[in-house]
Amino acid sequence: MTKIIPFKAVRPTRDKVSLVAARSYQSYTKEQLESRLRDNPFSFLQIVNPGYRFDKDISGEARYSLVKNRFLEFKEDGIFIQDEKPSYYIYKIVDREEQEFNGIVAASSALDYENDIIKKHEDTIAYKEILFKDYLKTVGFNAEPVLLTYPDNAVIDSIIKKTQKERAEFEFTTTYRDTHYLWKVDNPKIIANIQKEFENIPTIYIADGHHRSASSYLLYKDLKDANPEHQGDEAYNFFMSYLIPESDLQIHAFNRLVKDLNGLSKEEFLIQLDTFYRIENRGKMPYQPSKKHHFSMYLDGDFYSLYLRKTSYKIETSLDGLDSQILYKTILNPILGIEDLRNDQRIIYVNGKKDLVNIKSSVDSGESKVGFVMLPVLMNEMKQIADDGLKMPPKSTYIEPKLRSGVTIYEF
C-alpha cells in the first residue's frame, strides 16, 4: 500500500511563476547563472545562490542560513504564498518536441522509502546524501520534487483529464520552449479518490532523484529521533514528489566518452575488444546500435558496431543483462582500466538526447579518444533491477520530464 498525501504548497503568485521557476542549479553554465541572477530578481536562483547579493561565494551552514533568509524574504514580499488547504497538484509539461507529461505533485512517505515500497534502481553517494540532508534541515523546505513513476491507472488518469478541462492555475512557457501547467485539487472527494487509488498500488519506483529521496529519508530519521512526541503525520515524514504513469516516462541512454585508451594503441585496443565482441567498421557516417547488447563505437575517425559474443559473457542476474553494465564489465573496467564510474575523471557522460555529432566532435577534437553509444534502458529492465534489489551503474538513464524548481515548495 503506497501512501501519497496532499499538502499545502508554497507557490509563486500567478503573475510571477514564469519568473520564479528555474532549472536545477547545476544545469546552468557560469555565464547563464550570472545573467539570470543579474537580470531577474524573482528567479528561484536568487534563493539558492544567496552569495550573489554579497558578491561572494558562500558555502556550508552559512550558505544554508542565507538560503533560508532569502526564502523567507520571498514569502514576506508576497512573491510566494501558501495554499490554505492540503491539495494535490496536477502538473503537465509539453516540451519543444511536443512530448506531453501528466502527473501529480504530492507528498510521498519516507516510511514507504524505508520499507522498499518506493523502490530504487541507482546507487547513491553517502556524503552527498548527508550534505543535502543537512541543507534541508537548515532551510526547512524542498523545492524540487523527486520523480516517481507508477503503473498506469485508469481512475487516476480520468481524474487528471477531467481536471485539465478547467482553467490552469499556472500556465507558462520557458526559454527552452517547454510549456508548464498546474491545477490545484483541493476537493475532499477527489482527494480521497486519488489517495485510495495510490493505496491500491503496491509499489512505485524512483525514476529520477535518488539522492534527494535518500536525503529526505535521512532527515525523517533525524527529526523523528529528536522528537519525543513523534506521531507519524508530521511534515518531515514525507517528501515532495512528482508522480507520473509509466507510459509517460521517457528514458534515454547515457552514452560514454573516454579520454584515453589506457596506454594501448588503437590496434591493441581493437584486439582486446575482439575477446568479447564481433567488430565491424562502419566508416565515417554516424551509426546507431540496432538492438540490446549491441554498441556503436567511434574511434579514430570511424564508427564501429560491436556485437556481444554470448559465449564470452554470462548473464546471471537482471543487472548482468543491462547494456551499461555489460559495457563496464567487458570494456571500461578490464580494458580501459576504469573502476570508479562516478569519480574517474577519464570518463565523460553524454545524455542520449544529444546527437551522435557530440560524440564524434569530442573524439575528433582530441578531448576524448573513444566514444560508446547504447540503446536506452527499458522500463521493465529498470523495474526488474529495482525489484531484485540491485543497482544500475551511474548514468545509466537520462530520464524526462525534467521539472522546474520553485513552482511548488514543500515545507517541514
Mean pLDDT over the full length of the chain: 95
Q: What is the pLDDT of residue 343?
A: 85
Where along the chain do its domains lie? 4-250+400-411, 254-396
Residue matched to cell numbers 552527498: 128
Q: What is the pLDDT of residue 163?
A: 98
Q: Is the peptide bond before 394 cis (omega within 30 degrees of 0)?
A: no
pLDDT digits (tens, 9 = 90+) for 370-391: 999 999 999 999 999 999 999 9
Which value, in Å, is the radius of gyration of the alpha carbons in the chain?
23
pLDDT digits (tens, 9 = 90+) for 279-338: 999 999 999 998 999 999 999 999 999 999 989 999 999 999 999 999 999 999 999 999
Cα angle value 85/82/198 (rounded, 5°): 50
Compute φ and ψ for 403, nearest 5 degrees: -90, 160
Q: What is the pLDDT of residue 51?
A: 86
What are 391's three cell numbers? 543497482
Phi-psi region of 78 (alpha: psi -120 to 50; beta: other; left: phi over 0): left
What are 50's three cell numbers? 544567496
DSSP H helical ranges for 234-364? 266-273, 323-327, 356-364
Q: Which of 22-26, 193-197, 268-272 has the lowest mean pLDDT?
A: 22-26
What type of residue is 207?
A
Average pLDDT over residues 65-87: 97
Kindly give, in sequence order, each residue whose CB lies less than 8 Å from that of residue 323, ignoring residues fewer than 6 positions away: 253, 292, 293, 295, 374, 375, 377
Residue matched to cell numbers 520571498: 74
Q: Which of 139, 142, 108, 134 is nearest to 9 (CA)?
A: 142
pLDDT digits (tens, 9 = 90+) for 112-147: 999 999 999 988 888 999 999 999 999 999 999 999
What are 297's three cell numbers? 563505437
Do the Cβ atoms of 93 and 401 come closer than 8 Å?
yes
Cα angle value 209/213/217 (rounded, 5°): 170
pLDDT at 55 over 90: no
> β-strand 146-150 against 204-208: which pairing, if any?
antiparallel
Q: What is the pLDDT of residue 352?
A: 84
| CATH number of the structural domain 254-396 | 3.30.1760
Count of other CB atoms within 10 angstroms of residue 323: 22
What are 229's three cell numbers? 512526541
Q: What is the pLDDT of residue 347?
A: 96
pLDDT digits (tens, 9 = 90+) for 147-172: 999 999 999 999 999 999 999 999 99
pLDDT digits (tens, 9 = 90+) for 347-369: 999 988 887 889 999 999 999 99
| pTM of the predicted structure, to 2 decimals | 0.92
